[in-house]
Structure 1
Amino acid sequence: MWINEYMTGRSFTAQGASAGEIRSTNNGNVSVSSMRDYGALPLIAPSGIAYVPVIGEPTVVMEGAGGAVCLGVIAAPKEDLQAGELMLYSAGGASIVLKNNGKVLINGREVS
């Protein structure tokens, strides 16, 4: 979470990191327009989560000894989430929310 907040301003001095925008996706890789154009970067995500980012989303590219990687898209704040809660959502509007009180909401409806 801190990296999203850190990079959102786009005025940073983290060595090897640059803010950019998703330009295209293909087979789990992304192309990013940043301080320079990157093609076919691996997309970093937590284990067990696979996704394809939306074209135009803001992102962060990190360059290291092993090459450049896309760290993912900068998450839009969700007003209805409390600290410690988790939301998975799609561009089409589907969502799953894990609430702190143990409730699970799927598309806004509580399930048990």
Structure 2
Amino acid sequence: MWLTRKLFEGGGVRLHSGRVEEAGGFSVQGESLFKEPEQLLPYGLMSVAEAGKQAVMLDGYCAGVAGAPDSGLQAGETRLYSAGGAEICLLNDGRVVINGQAFGPKEG
């Protein structure tokens, strides 16, 4: 992958962490201040973490935000949520739960 090759060209990857800052857009304060660092996310997803969360920085790129495992999920399940309480869960039995309303698995 291009990004992996690019990161390793400089003689190794530097992994750091820092706190997401409140003021003026997305920034992370670690060893230095990263103002609006590029985020490594799957295609089609965008996110800005809440202030105070612990961000994982990889050579100046935000590789993610640390969080405890979700004990309400089973292996293979996914939960997408916002700070405002919106939530989508993809469950192993094929159901999709959106803000508490369950939709059955795709037929056929």
Q: Same fold (TM over 0.5)?
A: yes
Instruction: Structure 1: state its 5+ residue gaps.
Output: 1-13
Structure 1: 4+ residue segments shifted above 6 A: none
CA distance in 2, matches of 1:37, 1:15: 18
1:100 matched to 2:98? The reply is no
1:103 is displaced (CA, Å) by 0.7
Residue 3 of structure 1 corresponds to: none
CA offsets per residue over residues 7-28 of structure 1, 9 Å max, x none?
xxxxxxx9501111111463xx
Counterpart position of 2:20: 22
- Structure number with bigger Rg: 2
Point out where structure 2 has 5 or more consecutive residues left out of the alignment: 1-11
CA deviations 1:79-104 (Å, max 9, x no partner) are 11000000000101110000001011
Going by fraction, where is strand more abundant, 1 or 2?
Answer: 1
Shift of 1:110: 0.7
Partner residue of 2:53 out of 57, 60, 69: 57
CA RMSD between the two structures: 1.8
Q: Which piece of structure 1 moves more, 90-99 or 39-48?
A: 39-48
Is 2:76 the counterpart of 1:78?
no
Percent identity reads 36
2:67 corresponds to 1:87: no
Aligned residues: 92
Deviates more, 1:31-40 or 1:79-88: 31-40
- What amino acid sits opposite 2:81 in the alignment? Y
Secondary structure of the residue that 2:37 maps to in structure 1? strand
